[in-house]
């Protein structure tokens, strides 16, 4: 390949000498290994150190000596060489007749990345994609239909009747069809509440993703994200987090540094509500548009503040942002469908057992009285943030799944147990509250036990403190929402 030319002589001689010293099998040519060594590839250096302990020092000497001959890093010299060769070949094989006028797609793209038109476009996409489609259509229309018309009218009465005739023991009947029964609560929440919300979110996300909008959003938001120790790149896990924080935590792997991954994990666990939770919270605050703004403002502020503080506390430099901006494309229906199906399937295999498990735990907890004990303990912080004691149950549910907890609040709201202020405080606290079991496990898996646990403990205290502060502020200022 690009052989040594003017700059190459010293490099080429060094490379040959290194090649002659290499004896091991690296799966790639010795020339390639030599070049990677000269470019100071850490993985290859370690590999060679282990494979060739006797000649490693001599190799290192050659590398160091070669470096002194060049002002730029050797990787730059090597890349330059290759690029010259690539440009030469490209010049020979490509006949060029490019068009000059901007295509419509390019014009739209330019509008998306210009902040003056880009920010309104972003807000429109969020409003129609998330609020209207996921919030109103998914969490409203579809949920109502499945919950009222299918579960309450058809499934619940029949299943209750069936179990009443099959299982004579009240205790075991409760397990399946009681207030927190596996079917009446677990399956109902999963199918009637969560499934429609998550599915509509993943449809919206797949459409947004397939158009190529996300990289444009990333470049638009990079400067803000820099303030919280992230780069524009982190916008992908953050937006995905609005669908499922667990899945998004997994995707933080694509962020280049551990520091960014930790900050993103904290923010996902704390301040990014997942679609299931978001849907229920939107329903919870329905008709309280001022309350919705307060909720959005407080959660947004927490997001920025905690991000900013983490970026100050965690060691490491600020990340750099670089990203390819692919051309805009019209999303293909089949692609959107398959992606959505795959993700919903992943989501359900991951969370459905958790719902059932939670129902069983709650049942067992009630039977043994543990549930009551925990509820009693939780009543203190719940009272502390100005909520009725009954809300403690919803927070206990929140341990199992955040949306489960939010759904519990929703039931309390329907029963008319909340004032406007209490609704907002409850929504804020629960949004920030502990990650669900699945997300906690993912945090531990991706970040390790120590970080995973530390994040949870921090969030437990922090969420109630914010709830307390908001409640206090509203009371002091005499605001009732």
Q: Which residues ranging from 250 to 279 are in contact with another protein (CB under 8 A)? A: 250-251, 253-254, 256
Task: Tell the smallest beta-carbon distance from residue 349 to another protein (Å).
Answer: 15
Q: Which of residues 341-360 bind another protein (CB under 8 A)?
A: 342-343
Task: Tell the smallest beta-carbon distance from residue 369 to another protein (Å).
Answer: 44
Task: Tell the smallest beta-carbon distance from residue 12 to another protein (Å).
Answer: 13
Distance CA 237, CA 153 (A): 39
Distance CA 243, CA 274 (A): 5
The SS3 assignment for 230 reads coil
Task: Tell the smallest beta-carbon distance from residue 335 to another protein (Å).
Answer: 6
Residue 377, H or E segment: helix 370-384
Q: Which of residues 60-99 bind another protein (CB under 8 A)?
A: 72-73, 75-76, 79-80, 82-87, 89-99
Is residue 184 a contact partner of residue 177, using CB atoms and an 8 Å limit?
A: yes
321 binds another protein (CB under 8 A): yes
Distance CA 174, CA 354 (A): 18
Q: What DSSP assignment string belongs to 115-168? A: HHHHHHHHHHHIIIIIIIIIIIIIIIIIHHIIIIIIIIIIIHHHHHHHHHHH--
Give the Cβ contact number of residue 126 at 10 Å: 16
123 binds another protein (CB under 8 A): no
The SS3 assignment for 479 reads coil
6 binds another protein (CB under 8 A): no
Q: What DSSP assignment string belongs to 234-263? A: GHHHHHHHTT-HHHHHHHGGGSSSHHHHHH
313 binds another protein (CB under 8 A): no
Task: Tell the smallest beta-carbon distance from residue 208 to another protein (Å).
Answer: 10
Q: Nearer to another protein by C-beta: 204 or 392?
A: 204
Task: Tell the smallest beta-carbon distance from residue 338 to another protein (Å).
Answer: 6
338 binds another protein (CB under 8 A): yes
207 binds another protein (CB under 8 A): no
Residue 425 makes CB contacts below 8 A (sequence gap 6+) with: 385, 386, 387, 467, 470, 471, 474
Stretch that binds another protein, among 153-161, 210-218, 277-285, 360-368 (CB under 8 A): 210-218
Distance CA 274, CA 250 (A): 14
The residue within the footprint of another protein, chosen from 17, 31, 67, 105 (CB under 8 A), is 31
Number of residues that bind another protein (CB under 8 A): 76
235 binds another protein (CB under 8 A): no
The SS3 assignment for 310 reads helix
Task: Tell the smallest beta-carbon distance from residue 313 to another protein (Å).
Answer: 22
The residue within the footprint of another protein, chosen from 24, 120, 297, 326 (CB under 8 A), is 326
Distance CA 236, CA 187 (A): 31
129 binds another protein (CB under 8 A): no
Task: Tell the smallest beta-carbon distance from residue 88 to another protein (Å).
Answer: 9
The residue within the footprint of another protein, chosen from 23, 24, 28, 377 (CB under 8 A), is 28
324 binds another protein (CB under 8 A): yes
Distance CA 187, CA 146 (A): 12
223 binds another protein (CB under 8 A): yes
Q: Nearer to another protein by C-beta: 146 or 219?
A: 219
218 binds another protein (CB under 8 A): yes
Q: Which of residues 36-55 bind another protein (CB under 8 A)?
A: 36, 39, 41, 43
Q: Residues 366, 370, 373, 375: is their CA dihedral positive or negative?
A: negative
DSSP 275: H
CA 293 to chain centre: 23
Token pair belonging to 220? 């638009």
Task: Tell the smallest beta-carbon distance from residue 456 to another protein (Å).
Answer: 24
Distance CA 435, CA 241 (A): 12
Task: Tell the smallest beta-carbon distance from residue 305 to another protein (Å).
Answer: 21
DSSP 186: I
Task: Tell the smallest beta-carbon distance from residue 23 to another protein (Å).
Answer: 16
26 binds another protein (CB under 8 A): yes
Q: Nearer to another protein by C-beta: 50 or 320?
A: 320
Stretch that binds another protein, among 317-325, 354-362, 373-381, 472-480 (CB under 8 A): 317-325
Residue 439 makes CB contacts below 8 A (sequence gap 6+) with: 245, 246, 249, 268, 269, 402
Distance CA 236, CA 249 (A): 11
395 binds another protein (CB under 8 A): no
Q: Nearer to another protein by C-beta: 97 or 477?
A: 97
The residue within the footprint of another protein, chosen from 4, 45, 108, 113 (CB under 8 A), is 113
CA 395 to chain centre: 22
Q: Nearer to another protein by C-beta: 7 or 465?
A: 7
Distance CA 249, CA 238 (A): 9
Token pair belonging to 421? 């202020």
365 binds another protein (CB under 8 A): no
Distance CA 464, CA 460 (A): 7
325 binds another protein (CB under 8 A): yes
């Amino acid at each position: 390949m690009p052989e040594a030319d003017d700059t190459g002589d010293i490099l080429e001689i060094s490379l040959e000498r290194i090649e002659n010293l290499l004896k091991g099998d690296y799966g790639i040519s010795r020339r390639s290994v030599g070049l990677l060594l000269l470019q100071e590839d850490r993985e290859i250096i370690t590999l060679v150190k282990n494979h060739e302990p006797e000649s490693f020092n001599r190799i290192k000497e050659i590398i160091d000596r070669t470096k002194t001959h060049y002002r730029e890093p050797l990787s730059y010299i090597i890349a330059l060489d290759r690029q010259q060769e690539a440009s030469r070949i490209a010049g020979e094989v490509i006949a060029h007749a490019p068009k000059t006028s901007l295509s419509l797609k390019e014009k739209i793209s330019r509008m998306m990345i210009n902040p003056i038109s880009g920010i309104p476009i972003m807000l429109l996409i969020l409003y129609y994609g998330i609020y209207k489609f996921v919030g109103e259509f998914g969490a409203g229309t579809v949920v109502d239909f499945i919950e009222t018309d299918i579960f309450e009218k058809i499934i619940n009465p029949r299943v209750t009747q069936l179990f009443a005739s099959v299982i004579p023991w009240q205790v075991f009947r409760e397990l399946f069809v009681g207030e927190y029964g596996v079917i009446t609560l677990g399956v109902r929440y999963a199918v009637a509440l969560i499934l429609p919300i998550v599915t509509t979110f993943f449809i919206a996300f797949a459409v947004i993703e397939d158009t190529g909008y996300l990289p444009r959003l990333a470049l638009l938001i990079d400067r803000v994200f820099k303030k919280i120790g992230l780069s524009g790149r982190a916008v992908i896990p953050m937006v995905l987090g609005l669908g499922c924080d667990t899945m998004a935590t997994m995707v933080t792997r694509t962020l280049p540094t551990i520091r960014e991954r930790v900050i993103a994990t904290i923010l996902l666990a704390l301040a990014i509500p997942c679609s299931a939770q978001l849907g229920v919270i939107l329903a919870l605050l329905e008709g309280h548009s001022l309350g919705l703004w307060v909720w959005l403002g407080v959660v947004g502020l927490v997001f920025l503040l905690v991000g900013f503080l983490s970026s100050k506390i965690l060691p490491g430099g600020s990340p750099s942002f670089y990203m390819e901006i692919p051309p805009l494309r019209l999303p293909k229906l089949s692609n959107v469908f398959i992606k959505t199906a795959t993700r919903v399937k992943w989501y359900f295999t991951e969370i459905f057992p958790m719902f059932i498990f939670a129902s069983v735990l709650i049942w067992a907890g009630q039977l043994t009285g543990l549930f009551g004990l925990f509820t009693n303990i939780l009543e203190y912080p719940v009272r502390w943030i100005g909520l009725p004691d009954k809300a403690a149950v919803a927070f206990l549910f929140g341990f199992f799944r955040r949306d489960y907890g939010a759904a519990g609040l929703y039931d309390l709201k329907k029963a008319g147990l909340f004032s406007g202020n209490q609704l907002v405080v409850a929504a804020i606290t629960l949004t920030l509250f502990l990650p669900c079991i699945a997300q906690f496990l993912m945090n531990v898996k991706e970040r390790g036990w120590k970080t995973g646990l530390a994040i949870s403990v921090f969030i437990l205290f922090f969420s109630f403190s914010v709830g307390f502060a908001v409640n206090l502020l509203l009371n002091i200022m005499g605001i009732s929402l």
